[in-house]
A and B are shown apart, each in its own frame.
Chain A
């Protein structure tokens, strides 16, 4: 957040080069804004005073600072421990590996940090504190924007930037010229003349309101980012699915392998699109130190946006999703589905399909199971590895040496008995529950077209060939665009609040006794605002040209320490 949040909208006078921008004295904090806690005193007895006191504490800058710090600290365990939201399997594995610490950490919410009560408490308090600060400051800022630039100080030569000269033009002319010059540079300007006495005109100008505007926009936009995230988690849906080459997907809940929906999302009313994956292709680095590194993936689909619309051909790549009515389909992974045919002991074909095996390493050694519950006399199950480019390693046994299916082989171990599918318990399609099964023979390594015939007339399995599959993530997040827009607004606001300088210029033109006009110009800005000297110079230049620049220079402010300071500030800028 921007550095001068919550310290008031003011400009402080301090000498150039010293106090850095934003270093504002305590004075401001306690006088101009309600957001700074009053000097701590014991609150009154009433609940109202107590609430008021608590509110002031919560919305104070110090509290915000502590909350920011706590939020950063609280995020750390989320990167150290596996998180349920992203990797449920790793969480289970971690708890299994750490039987003592695991359950304690789980109870503390360490595996669900970003959804935990304590994490939510911190960011909610932070955002309440932020709103409690931004709202009063916005009101203050609106008032300040409507207000006229402050009247000129009596002695402009005491300001850090100042110059003076005399001219033959009338004070009113000078004032008007100054007003125009400043206006054309988008300064907010008011002019005043002083009837009676000497002929005196002053111009008061201010610029850089966008600094505070940006600051407020930034903080308000952060609130909107949070709102967008909330919308996404309430109404958003996301799921993943594996689609084997040549098969189709329809966007209904039952078709997903895993699915998450926000509590407000209607899962029975998903956009009715469907697609068939006609082909999937992948290329890999051949040889060299990066041998086998993936180089490209592409899935060719025929998509129907609605059941009645015509099919269109779409290629999805990584970084190049398919968009259907606000729902995005991403290609997030791929693998191989060996096509197998299982015959049972009676010679019937009980299974003939491509079964996806999940890749386990960079060379796509893949693991999977084949279940044939219809096999008789006994149900059959197979555990196995698929090796796209198989090689028998003397130490490690069969391994894959390249991710492409150049020499595919299937290593398979047969089981017979009860697959456990009949009692209705949910089972992973990628794991075989062998608790009620026994081995049905020696494992075998099958090349394409080869079969393993099980002993004892139990049946056989044939490795017919292999087709690729692709895994897709299908997501709909209605909060995404609001979050993006809010984030861009926050960025714009942040840049304004850090780079815009708020500054003031006053011009006073007084006619002197000799019929000439004495013009004094003063500028005031934060210490950081190094450019003000140049702006004052430019204005002086312009006003001097009013009478052809032929005037004598009486008070070019060339003496005294202040003038030296001014020049020094300018020198430094130029250096």
Chain B
């Protein structure tokens, strides 16, 4: 096949992926709308029920650790008294959710159970379909990236269009991996698929450039290393940011005792916070590596490993923001919401570095291939 065919195939795959992901988005939304008790909801509930037990355990352990002197003083064994209480708070809306659905109890138990079961099956179906469609969208997009690489005969992330498509692919990969590990996080689906669709839409309409070879400055194996690290970081940052925003929303609902169809289905805030932390803890070293690899490349291409180019400056600002986040999580008085706000600020810095810097500033990284150039 000619490179032309590959390029056309790649574009076709992008469109196909967008179509499939649109359906996935609708199905995810339908799952949220219909299923008060889809399988995911049950999982979440079951997990939170278990957590209620764990809270008890935690509290017990707290007492015991204090008693079990040998352990506690050699130690640093400490029990966070807050952890228990916040977990209890975390389970409140679920309890409230149960009592709210108790309004249906005017019906006979059998009727009620039948209706619930029907809804549950329907939502389950939507949830499963949505997830399968997301996986299909992921595969199609992976095809698009591979064919783009074959068409251009190089690593397929040499301009903003290719970077955006590859980032969207990574976001989907991270989401799929995360929700396979933690089924409760499947509810993030709609919140992940929407930004992916926006990114792809923007890529194919505004950022699109035909497949072609690169300017000499980008002809380096560092393109593969540095940019790939940046893409994977970007994908994980985005998913982490989505989880963090949902944490903030869920935490707000929990503190106000607000129960609605979304809050009932999302994992408890505690769990969202932890998942976000895991993503950021994974991505922070990777982002550090992306910056170092960029510096090595810069040293090789421009003679200076750091030139305070706007892209570099904003990469550092992003890095500092997430360093703040990690420190804040270990600082009394900064945990939880405050740390989450910092993470959201960090994600904003990353997004600004990608879109804002390419659009507003000119610098050494002006490879975006934006059509206004």
A343 touches B (CB below 8 Å): no
Measured between beta carbons, the chain A residues less than 8 angstroms from B79 are 12-14, 25
A295: Cβ under 8 A from any B Cβ: yes
Residues 486-517 of A at the B interface (beta carbon under 8 Å): 487-488, 490-491, 494-495, 498-499
Contacts of B230-282 to chain A: CB distance below 8 A? 270-271, 273-274, 277-278, 281-282
Assembly CA distance A411 to B222 (angstroms): 41
Main SS of the interface on chain B? helix
Q: Which of B70, B220, B303 lies in contact with A475, CB distance below 8 A?
A: B303
Choice from A473, A480, A491, A575 contacting B183 with Cβ under 8 Å? A575
In whole angstroms, how far apart are the Cα atoms of A150 and B76 in the complex? Answer: 10
By CB atoms of chain B within 10 A, which of A28, A79, A575 has the most?
A79
Q: In the assembly, what is the distance between CA of A71 and CA of B324, in Å?
A: 11
Contacts of B324 in A (CB 8 A): 65, 68-69, 72
Verify if B289 is at the interface (C-beta below 8 Å from A): yes
Distance of A490 Cα from B289 Cα, bound (Å): 10
Q: Which of B67-98 contact A (CB under 8 A)?
A: 68, 70-72, 74-84, 86-87
- State whether the Cβ of A554 lies closer than 8 Å to any Cβ in chain B: no
Q: Given the complex, which residues of A lie within 8 Å of B335, measured CB to CB?
A: 23
B54 close to A18 (CB less than 8 A): yes
How close is B251's CB to chain A, nearest CB, in angstroms? 14
| Binary per-residue interface labels of chain A (1-37) against chain B in the complex, 1 for a CB within 8 Å, 0 otherwise | 1111111111111111111111111111100100000
Those of B27-56 within 8 Å (CB) of chain A: 47, 50-51, 53-56
**B50 contacts A564, CB within 8 Å?**
yes
- Whether A6 and B301, one on each chain, are in contact in the complex, defined by CB atoms closer than 8 angstroms, is no
Of A48-56, A151-159, A262-270, A454-462, the segment with at least 4 beta carbons within 8 Å of chain B is: A151-159
With both beta carbons as reference points, the residue of chain B lying nearest to A6 in the complex is identified as B330
A83 contacts B by Cβ under 8 Å:
yes
Supposing A3-B281, A25-B78, A64-B327 touch, asked if A561 and B56 sit within 8 A by C-beta, the answer is yes
Contact digits for A271-315, partner B, Cβ 8 Å, 1 yes 0 no: 000000000000001001110011111000000000000000000
Chain B interface size range: 35 or more
Interface string of B307-337 (1 = CB under 8 A from A): 1111001101100110110111111111100
Nearest residue, chain B, Cβ from A26: B332
Contact B327 A5 (CB under 8 A): yes
Is there a chain B Cβ closer than 8 Å to A61's Cβ?
A: yes
Q: How far is the CA of A321 from the CA of B330 in the complex (A)?
A: 44
Return the chain B residue nearest A71 by Cβ. Answer: B320
B166 within 8 A of A: no
The reply to whether A290 and B212 form a contact with Cβ atoms under 8 Å apart is yes
> CB distance B70 to A22 under 8 Å?
no
**CB closest chain-A residue, reference B306:** A229
Q: Which of B68, B76, B333 contacts A8 (CB 8 A)?
A: B76
Given A3-B326, A28-B78, answer yes or no on A154-B68 (Cβ-Cβ < 8 Å): yes
Cα A285 to Cα B87 in complex, Å, equals 62
B219 at the interface (CB under 8 A from A): yes
- Collect the chain A residues with CB atoms within 8 Å of residue B54's CB: 15-18, 565, 568
Contact with A along B177-211 (1 / 0, CB 8 A): 00001110000000000000000000000000110
Residue interface mask A188-226, B partner, CB < 8 A = 1: 000000000000000000000000000000000000000
In the complex, A265→B60 CA distance in Å? 66
- Whether B102 is near chain A, meaning CB under 8 Å from some CB there, is no
User: Which of A16, A319, A320, A480 is most buried by chain B, counting CB atoms within 10 A of its CB?
Assistant: A319
Residues of chain B within 8 A of A2, CB atoms compared? 326
How far apart are the CA atoms of A8 and B299 in the complex, in Å? 38
Min C-beta distance of A188 to chain B, whole Å: 14
A residues within 8 A CB of B23?
Answer: none
Does B323 lie within 8 Å of A79, measured CB to CB?
no
Q: How far is the CB of B59 from chain A (nearest CB, A)?
A: 9
Residues from chain A with a CB closer than 8 A to the CB of B50 are 17, 564-565, 568
A484 within 8 Å of B (CB atoms): yes
Minimum CB distance partner of A492 in chain B: B285
Report B-chain residues with C-beta under 8 Å of the C-beta of A21.
Answer: 277, 281
CB distance from A11 to the nearest CB of B (A): 6
What separation, in Å, do the CA atoms of A85 and B304 have in the docked complex? 12
Q: Which of B273, B295, B309, B331 contacts A86 (CB 8 A)?
A: B309
The reply to whether A79 and B361 contact each other, CB–CB distance below 8 Å, is yes
Query: Roughly how many angstroms separate A295 CA and B218 CA in the complex, as a whole number?
Result: 10
Find the A residue at minimum CB distance from B53: A561
Residues of A near B15 (CB, < 8 A) are none
Point out the residues of chain B lying under 8 angstroms from A72, CB to CB.
316-317, 320-321, 324, 349
Q: Is B357 an interface residue (CB 8 A)?
A: yes
Taking the complex as formed, is B217 at the interface, i.e. its CB lies under 8 A from any CB of chain A?
yes
A86 with B55: CB separation less than 8 A: no
In the bound complex, do residue B68 and residue A153 qualify as a contact, i.e. CB atoms below 8 Å apart? Answer: yes
Q: Assess whether B327 is in contact with A68, with CB atoms less than 8 Å apart.
A: yes
CB contact under 8 A between A158 and B270, given known A14-B79, A65-B331, A238-B304: no
A483 CA to B306 CA in the complex, in Å?
11
B65 touches A13 (CB 8 A): yes
Please measure, in the bound complex, the distance between the C-alpha atom of A293 and the C-alpha atom of B367, giving whole angstroms.
11
Residues of chain B lying within 8 A (CB to CB) of residue A155: 64, 68
Given contacts A12-B79, A158-B68, contact A20 B273 (CB under 8 A): yes
Taking a contact as CB atoms closer than 8 A, the residue among A16, A238, A296, A568 that contacts B303 in the complex is A238
Contact of A498 among B86, B285, B292, B302 (CB under 8 A): B285
Rank and list the top 3 A-B pairs by shortest CB-CB distance, nearest first. Answer: A10-B76, A150-B74, A153-B71
Question: Can you offer 24 A-B residue contacts whose CB atoms are under 8 A?
Answer: A3-B326, A6-B331, A13-B61, A14-B79, A16-B54, A17-B51, A21-B277, A24-B330, A32-B76, A65-B327, A68-B320, A85-B308, A154-B70, A155-B68, A289-B210, A293-B215, A318-B217, A330-B301, A475-B304, A480-B299, A484-B296, A488-B292, A498-B281, A498-B282
Known: A13-B78, A14-B58, A65-B324. 4 other contacts (CB 8 A): A3-B277, A80-B361, A484-B296, A491-B288
Chain B interface residues (CB < 8 Å from chain A): 47, 50-51, 53-58, 60-62, 64-65, 68, 70-72, 74-84, 86-87, 181-183, 209-210, 212-213, 215-217, 219-220, 222, 270-271, 273-274, 277-278, 281-282, 284-285, 288-289, 292, 295-297, 299-310, 313-314, 316-317, 320-321, 323-324, 326-335, 349, 357, 361
Footprint of B on A, CB under 8 Å? Answer: 1-29, 32, 61-62, 64-65, 68-69, 71-72, 75-76, 78-80, 83, 85-86, 113-114, 150-155, 158-160, 229, 238, 285, 288-290, 293-297, 317-321, 328, 330, 332, 473-475, 477, 480, 483-484, 487-488, 490-491, 494-495, 498-499, 524, 528, 561-562, 564-565, 568, 572, 575
